[in-house]
Structure formats: C-alpha cells, structure tokens
Structure 1
C-alpha cells in the first residue's frame, strides 16, 4: 500500500512540474552598419553570472551584404545581455589593442558606452515574449 501511495505522489509531482514549465521565446538579432563583408559575427547571449566570460548560448553568423541576422529559438524567459564581435581575421577571438580596447568591431545590447568597459546593468534586457527582436549597429 505504501508503495502505491509513493508512486501516485511521484506521478502527481511530475505532472505538476510539466504544468509550471518555463516559458520560452525566440530572440532574433539583426545587425546593421557592418562595414566589411569578410569574416564572421560571433554572437553571445549572456546571463548575469557569466557576463562577458562564457555565453549561455552562442552562434556564429556569416556576414551578408544585405545585412545579417540570427535567431535563438526556445530561450527561457529572463534577463540577458547580447554581445557580438566581427572577427575580421578569422582567429575566432576578439582582438584587442595594447590598452585592452577591442581592435575589431563590436556591438552590445542596452546602452553601453563604446569607450568604457561594458556593465551588466548597461547591457541587460528582459526576454518576456514569444518573439523579440534586437537591432545592433556597429
């Protein structure tokens, strides 16, 4: 009898878990003013705990003369920041000057000053709809 009650309780818990499944949305990022058509764009979606270290989700996008875009599907609702750099020389790394400033074009969500180190509060946004778009300019 105890085993049957235990199994029924577990079945109920699993069914409740599926009812409270996290909402997700599709996040499309479009890029404008990409100056050169060579190389790739490396796009990272970051959460607060990994901001500008290791993206939660990342994709590489070929540069297109008509503009480039990328869609991340099924992203859980929450707070994120987008960072992208244009890898002009194909080394898959954002190159930097001797003072630490990027030597390759980059863009970020939010209201980040390009002459200062980006902050989470300046770059974050809320994903809270089924479809959300961002336009990032270089």
Structure 2
C-alpha cells in the first residue's frame, strides 16, 4: 500500500508541475532608475484593475529589476490581465492630480486608456504552458 500512496503523491506532484505556466513581464520606457514598480495580475474581470480583485500583487525596486523584467511561475493556463505603474516617489500610491495620473502606468496588450482604465477583455491575454519534453 505504501507504494501506491507514494505513486499517487508523485503523480499529483508531476500533474501540478506540468500544468503550470510561466509569465515574463517586460517593462518598457522606464525613464528614471528610482522608485518602485507595482505589479498586479488579474485572472477575472471583476474589479479589474482595482486592488481587491488582483490574483497576484507585488512591487520591486526599479534598481532590482534584471533586464527590466520579472517572471511569475506556477500560473494556471488561463486568461490574465496585468496593470503596472511606476511609483517614482515610493509612497505606495498611484499619484493623481484632478484625476489625471502623475506617474507612468500601463496595461497588458498595450490596452488604451480613454477617460478610465481599459476593460479586462481589452487588456487580457491567454497564457499557455510551454510544452515540456520528458526523456
């Protein structure tokens, strides 16, 4: 019975490993090497791009970015949308004046902004896992 349980546990482990996808986010046009880049990854349209609706959220110092990119591992195959902004003054807030953004920001799919953020459908993309070849 021990072998069967171990086999089941190993098969569950390999099933999860094979089903995960990797997402690399490349940030373009960082004009100053100061502050933080805030990342938010969404997998559902509800509350996009609000803080409460994000699946994954994190920040990195601009000086800690390698080749101006970050990689997120172990995501399921699904639709995702990304919102980022450059928090130059590191106050952990998206600064605006009269509702006009004062800090650079962007969305996946280079979704355009017209008097408000794009919809999830405009910013989303389908993330597929890379095929793994086993020997």
Q: How many residues align?
A: 117
Residue 49 of structure 1, aligned match among 46, 55, 75 = 46
Work out the CA distance in 2 between the residues paired with 1:60 and 1:68: 13
Work out the CA distance in 2 between the residues paired with 1:129 and 1:40: 29
8 Å Cα contact 1:62/1:68 also seen in 2: no
Work out the CA distance in 2 between the residues paired with 1:66 and 1:80: 23
Structure 1-normalised TM-score? 0.72
1:30 positional shift: 1.1
Structure 2-normalised TM-score? 0.73
SS at match of 1:110: helix
1:27 is aligned to 2:23: yes
SS at match of 2:69: strand
Work out the CA distance in 1 between the residues paired with 2:93 and 2:21: 29
1:20 positional shift: 6.9
Pairwise CA RMSD: 2.7
Work out the CA distance in 2 between the residues paired with 1:66 and 1:128: 24
Give a deviation string over 1:9-32, Cα, whole Å, max 9, x none. xx9xx88x9497582111111112
Partner of 2:76: 76
Q: Which has the higher helix share?
A: 2
Work out the CA distance in 2 between the residues paired with 1:124 and 1:46: 9
Work out the CA distance in 1 between the residues paired with 2:47 and 2:15: 26
8 Å Cα contact 1:81/1:124 also seen in 2: yes
Work out the CA distance in 1 between the residues paired with 2:102 and 2:128: 34
SS at match of 2:103: coil
Which region of structure 1 is more displaced relative to structure 2, 62-71 or 30-39?
62-71
Larger Rg: 1
Work out the CA distance in 2 between the residues paired with 1:50 and 1:116: 17
Task: Please list every run of 5 or more consecutive structure 2 residues that lacks an aligned counterpart in the other structure.
Answer: none
